[in-house]
Amino acid sequence: MVAAMKMRAGRDDTCDTGVHAAIWRALAGVVDPEIPAVSIVELGIVRDVAHAANEWIVTVTPTYSGCPATRIIESDIRAALAELGETVRVVTALAPAWTTDWIAPEGRQKLREAGIAPPHPTTHAGSPNAQPITFGQPRPAVRCPNCGSLKTVELARFGSTACKAQYRCGDCLEPFDLFKSH
């Protein structure tokens, strides 16, 4: 009776919090296959971990709906959690769409350390940083992750992956990727 009362919308709040924490720790060890310096938790693509109907449900939102790494990430999640001996289902949720605002501060730092400029805050209506879009305005300056200079230039709108743009620093002359805001 008590367990039945604790079930809300299919979610079981009687779950083992130790297992719940172990799942989050395991997920923190799963790296993004396109940016292995950052975990999927730091990127903010792990939306939820819940227990329902004798299984753990991990909900993820890809960085964009056509991301080719989505199936690899799901496989990596299953492999990481298989070691815990729990039944796990990975669910992909496309709404609300992932935003770069979900990248954790430590994820932004790791991007910088990996030579990738972290994204600027977004300006879409759902963002806490929302600002009106003004056409004809220059894009904000991109800081070089190698030397910190703002004297950078975009070389290509698409970098090594569709979610990054290719830049070069005018001071240290090093090329680098910018993780695009969206």
List pLDDT tens digits, range 86-121. 889 999 999 999 999 999 999 999 999 999 999 887
25 and 68 belong to one structural domain: yes
19 and 83 belong to one structural domain: yes
13 and 49 belong to one structural domain: yes
65 and 128 belong to one structural domain: no
63 and 127 belong to one structural domain: no
For residue 81, is it within any domain?
A: yes
The pLDDT mean for the chain works out to 84
For residue 13, is it within any domain?
A: yes
Identify the helix (H) or strand (E) that includes residue 175: strand 175-179
For residue 101, is it within any domain?
A: no
pTM of the model: 0.76
- Of 38, 57, 92, the residue that ends a domain is 92
Range of the domain at 140: 111-179
21 and 49 belong to one structural domain: yes
Which one-letter DSSP state was computed for residue 75? H
For residue 96, the Cα-to-chain-centroid distance in whole angstroms is 13
122 and 155 belong to one structural domain: yes
SS3 of 80, please?
helix
For residue 2, the Cα-to-chain-centroid distance in whole angstroms is 37
- Of 92, 123, 144, the residue that ends a domain is 92
pLDDT at residue 80 above 90? yes
- CATH number of the domain residue 65 falls in: 3.30.300.130
Q: 106-134 in b/e burial notation, b at 16+ Cβ within 10 A?
A: ebbebbbeeebbbbbebeeeeeeeeeeee
How large is the average pLDDT for residues 127-145? 68
Task: Count helices and strands (H / E) in the chain.
Answer: 4, 9
4-18, 58-72, 100-114, range with greatest mean pLDDT? 100-114
37 and 86 belong to one structural domain: yes
Distances, alpha carbon 143 to alpha carbons 65, 117, 134, 177, in Å: 28, 7, 22, 11
- Dihedrals phi, psi of 57, to nearest 5 degrees: -115, 120
For residue 105, is it within any domain?
A: no
SS3 of 11, please?
strand
86 and 9 belong to one structural domain: yes
pLDDT in tens, 14-53: 557 889 999 999 999 999 999 999 999 999 999 999 999 8
